[in-house]
Amino acid sequence: GENVEQHPSTLSVQEGDSAVIKCTYSDSASNYFPWYKQELGKRPQLIIDIRSNVGEKKDQRIAVTLNKTAKHFSLHITETQPEDSAVYFCAASTNTGNQFYFGTGTSLTVIP
């Protein structure tokens, strides 16, 4: 099955700096890569996603890049704010199984 690895497990940045979280996957058939943000004790919420026919997608301060050859994708958050502090999860899935395989999460802390 698919194996998704996520790094780093914790990340601290100063307010206004950028944050980058990286994920690798093993199944070359994976074609959908969402990113979820989870605040403490709350549900994961989709913040951005990318499909395998696209190399980069941007939504205001967040962007995701995908390298299919190397089988890795990354979340980029620019001009970080304290409200960006949360746990971020990446995931990968294929059309056939409609299962998500999640990374183990990155706890992001933005220091004011």
Kindly list the residues in this chain that would bind other proteins in the complex (CB under 8 A): 1, 6, 9, 32, 34, 36, 41-46, 49, 89, 93, 95, 98-100, 102-105
Q: Which is nearer to other proteins, 20 or 49 (CB)?
A: 49
Cα 13 vs. chain centroid, distance in angstroms? 17
Q: What minimum distance in Å lies between the beta carbon of 64 and other proteins?
A: 14
Strand partners, 56: 65
Task: Find the shortest distance in angstroms from Cβ 63 to other proteins.
Answer: 18
* DSSP designation for 2: -
At its nearest, how many Å lie between other proteins and the CB of residue 104?
A: 4
- Residue 50's Cβ-count burial label (10 Å; 0-12, 13-18, 19+) is buried
